Amino acid sequence: MTFRRLLAVLALGVLIGGCGEVQGFLDDYDLATRPLARVATDISVAATAEDDAAAAREFERVADDTGQVNQRLNELDAPDAAKAEFEDVKAAVRRLERHLRQAAAAARKGDAKATDTAVKRLSVAGKDIAKAQTAVVSKLFQK
């Protein structure tokens, strides 16, 4: 089950339960993080680009999109029950953006080894985001 589907199922439960603060946060969170759904595909496109310049442009574009996600997340106020976990999500998304920019810089220099290292870090950052998102949901729906 994707994280978005998990959120949808949990959000339905919140609607039935009538908890407006959590539902509002989840709606805003979903909207803010929507661009992250295509990051893995975009990274694959960048990593297999026909030349270093094209790869650098693609990594930079994805980094810019991720930066917008960071801005949107910073505008959200998580419910008290999940504030710490939400901070972990934001930190993981910032790391993703940083690694994307590192990948872009390495590709621009034509440094295949540095690009490969940055791409591996992107995978770790993606897993960190998923783990932090799960923690947020768990906290929000803990009984």
Q: How far is CA 63 from the centre of its chain?
A: 11
> Shortest CA distance to 97 belongs to which of 76, 77, 136, 71?
71
Q: What is the pLDDT of residue 9?
A: 43
Task: Return the CATH number at 121.
Answer: 1.20.120
Residue of 6 and 83 predicted with greater confidence? 83
- Is the confidence at residue 131, as pLDDT, over 70? yes
Q: What is the pLDDT of residue 19?
A: 57
- Is the confidence at residue 79, as pLDDT, over 80? yes
Specify whether the CB–CB gap between 69 and 105 falls below 8 A: no
Rounded Cα–Cα distance for residues 30 and 112 (Å): 35
User: Containing domain of residue 29, as a range?
Assistant: 3-140
Rounded Cα–Cα distance for residues 86 and 29 (Å): 10
Phi, psi of 141 (to 5 degrees): -115, 20
Rounded Cα–Cα distance for residues 34 and 105 (Å): 25
Note the pLDDT tens digit of each residue in 16-74: 344 567 889 999 999 999 999 898 888 888 888 889 999 999 999 999 999 999 999 99
Looking at 48-111, list the stretches that DSSP marks H as alpha helix, in order from N- to C-terminal side: 52-74, 83-109
Q: What is the pLDDT of residue 48?
A: 86
- Is the confidence at residue 13, as pLDDT, over 70? no
CA dihedral 37, 39, 45, 46 (to 10 degrees): 170
> Shortest CA distance to 125 belongs to which of 89, 90, 92, 86?
92
Q: What is the pLDDT of residue 22?
A: 86
Residue of 116 and 71 predicted with greater confidence? 71
pTM of the model: 0.82
Note the pLDDT tens digit of each residue in 85-115: 999 999 999 999 999 999 999 999 999 899 9
How many structural domains comprise the chain? 1
Specify whether the CB–CB gap between 125 and 103 falls below 8 A: no
